[in-house]
Each structure stands twice: as structure tokens, then as C-alpha cells.
Amino acid sequence: DVKVTQSSRYLVKRTGEKVFLECVQDMDHENMFWYRQDPGLGLRLIYFSYDVKMKEKGDIPEGYSVSREKKERFSLILESASTNQTSMYLCASSFGQGVPSYNEQFFGPGTRLTVL
Amino acid sequence: QQPVQSPQAVILREGEDAVINCSSSKALYSVHWYRQKHGEAPVFLMILLKGGEQKGHDKISASFNEKKQQSSLYLTASQLSYSGTYFCGTYVRFNDYKLSFGAGTTVTVRA
């Protein structure tokens, strides 16, 4: 079974803190994604990566950065957390560099981040 | 641009049928369907590709009208396990990495 794990299920941080969300997948997938999920808005893509050290902006990258130093690990960084970044963050991975539209994404359980 | 899903929510009794629609203003290459149960990760259901190819669940059916940029997911003879939020996601090109998700349709199946 494909497994995507995220470092925390729940996280509480203060405004201005630097926040790291970690994601690890065990199926040697080329593609990894970070989404945020908010009620009524569905899942919105923050960043994605199709190879080690490669990253591309999604639809809502402002206030976030990412790092992919190893194939299995994709980190989301909030440089200075703000209250409007309180949300559920979902990591996903998929097989197939170059043809992501043909393959399903496997999601992690999510991290519910609260910024006070 | 996000696809539009309808309805936003539907309540069914076991055994009833429902249709969830997903519409886009752009020409689509593929449509993906996922289901998320409360407190869990989204789980893949099906991919529908331009040209008619499908991948996925053999107990859930869906259609893809390329000309209308629409897809429909059919929940037939619903079971309690069908409850959850269903999301469609769309790609506009075969080599696109950006999967745009709709806002979701919450399905509640009651005994």
C-alpha cells in the first residue's frame, strides 16, 4: 500500500513563527504536492515538485515556500505564520513524471494548523 | 480556475441514487474524482480521460462530456459507506501538474 505520512495531525503556532510541515511518501513517487483545504473552497494547490530540488508554484503560493532535498520528502514552510494560514494542509504524491494527469494522487492524513 | 460542482450537498436513503456534476469553463484533458470521509484523507475513485479512457473503481460510474467540459459521478443503490465529500479535479493538458479541485459535494446516506 502507498503510504503518505505527515509529521503532525495537529499543530498550534503563534503569529510570526516559522512553521515546518513535513511529508514523506514510501512509494518512490516522482511527484509531490501541498494543498490547503478550507470549507467551501475545496483543495487548493500551494506548491508541487516533480523531481528532487525541483519546485513549482501552485495557485496560492504566497506566504509559503517548499523544500525537496530527497525524493521521498517534501516540506512546506511558512516563513512567518499568520492567522489567515490557519487551515488543513494536505500532502499528496503521484507516480509518473511528465504525465501527472494520468495518475491518481495519494494523500496523507493532513495537518490541522492553527495560528494564534 | 476551479471547476464548479453541484449540488453542494445531498441526503439519501440507502438504496437511492444520486448524481454529482462537475463543470469547467475550460477545455479539459482529464477529470479525477476523489472521496473524503470525515477526518480522513481524500481517496482516489476514478480518472476519466479525453477520448473515453477510464481508470478506477469498478463499482462507481462516471461520465465525461468533452464538448460540454462536464463530468458526472453516479452513485447507484447507495450504501452507508458512500457517505463523505466528493471532489472532482480537472486537468486542462496531459502534462499539466495543476489539478484544480471543485469545492466538493457532501453526501449523507441514511439507513
State residue B12's pLDDT score: 96
Using the Cβ of A102 and the Cβ atoms of chain B, whether some distance falls under 8 Å is answered with yes
Residue B15 falls in which region: left (phi positive, over 0), alpha (psi -120 to 50) or beta: left
Average of per-residue pLDDT across B66-89: 93
Beta-carbon contacts below 8 Å between A and B: 70
Using the Cβ of B102 and the Cβ atoms of chain A, whether some distance falls under 8 Å is answered with yes
Å between A106 CA and nearest CA of chain B: 7
- Give B52's pLDDT tier (boundaries 50, 70, 90): confident
For residue B57, the 8-state DSSP code is: -
Average of per-residue pLDDT across B54-77: 85
Å between B9 CA and nearest CA of chain A: 11
Cβ-based contacts of A103 with chain B (< 8 Å)? 47
Q: Is it the case that residue B51 has pLDDT exceeding 80?
A: no
Using the Cβ of A2 and the Cβ atoms of chain B, whether some distance falls under 8 Å is answered with no
What distance in Å separates the CA atoms of residue A92 and residue A2, rounded to the nearest whole number? 11
What distance in Å separates the CA atoms of residue A101 and residue A45, rounded to the nearest whole number? 14
What distance in Å separates the CA atoms of residue B49 and residue B64, rounded to the nearest whole number? 8
What distance in Å separates the CA atoms of residue B61 and residue B40, rounded to the nearest whole number? 23
Q: Do the chains contact at A43 and B101, CB–CB below 8 Å? A: yes
Task: Name the residue type at position A50.
Answer: Y
| Helix/strand/coil for B68 | coil
Q: Is the dihedral of CA B8, A103, A32, A61 positive or negative?
A: negative
Q: Do the chains contact at B97 and A40, CB–CB below 8 Å? A: no
Mean pLDDT of chain B: 91
Q: Is it the case that residue B93 has pLDDT exceeding 70?
A: yes
Span of A13-17, B22-26, B84-88, B90-94 with lowest mean pLDDT: B90-94
Place of cell 513563527: A17
Check residues B54 and A23 and name the one with the higher pLDDT. A23
Nearest CA in chain B to A95: B97
Buried b (16+ CB within 10 A) or exposed e, B12-22: beeeeebebbb
Nearest to B34 by CA among B26, B23, B43: B43
What distance in Å separates the CA atoms of residue A112 and residue A109, rounded to the nearest whole number? 10
Q: Is it the case that residue B54 has pLDDT exceeding 80?
A: no
Interface of B with A in 62-81 (CB under 8 A): none
- Give B58's pLDDT tier (boundaries 50, 70, 90): low
B40, B94, B104: residue with CB nearest A42: B104
- Give B73's pLDDT tier (boundaries 50, 70, 90): very high
Using the Cβ of B60 and the Cβ atoms of chain A, whether some distance falls under 8 Å is answered with no
Residues 6+ away with beta carbon under 8 Å from B58: none
Nearest to A84 by CA among A65, A67, A63, A66: A63
Q: Is it the case that residue A26 has pLDDT exceeding 90?
A: yes
Distances (CA, A) of B45 to A62, B20, B48: 31, 13, 10
| pLDDT, tens digit (0-9, with 9 covering 90-100), for B4-36 | 999 999 999 999 999 999 999 998 999 999 999
Interface of A with B in 15-44 (CB under 8 A): 31, 33, 35, 40-44
Give me A6's grid cell.
Answer: 505527515
Nearest CA in chain B to A47: B98
Average of per-residue pLDDT across B68-74: 92
- Looking at the DSSP bridge assignments, the partners of residue B56 are B46
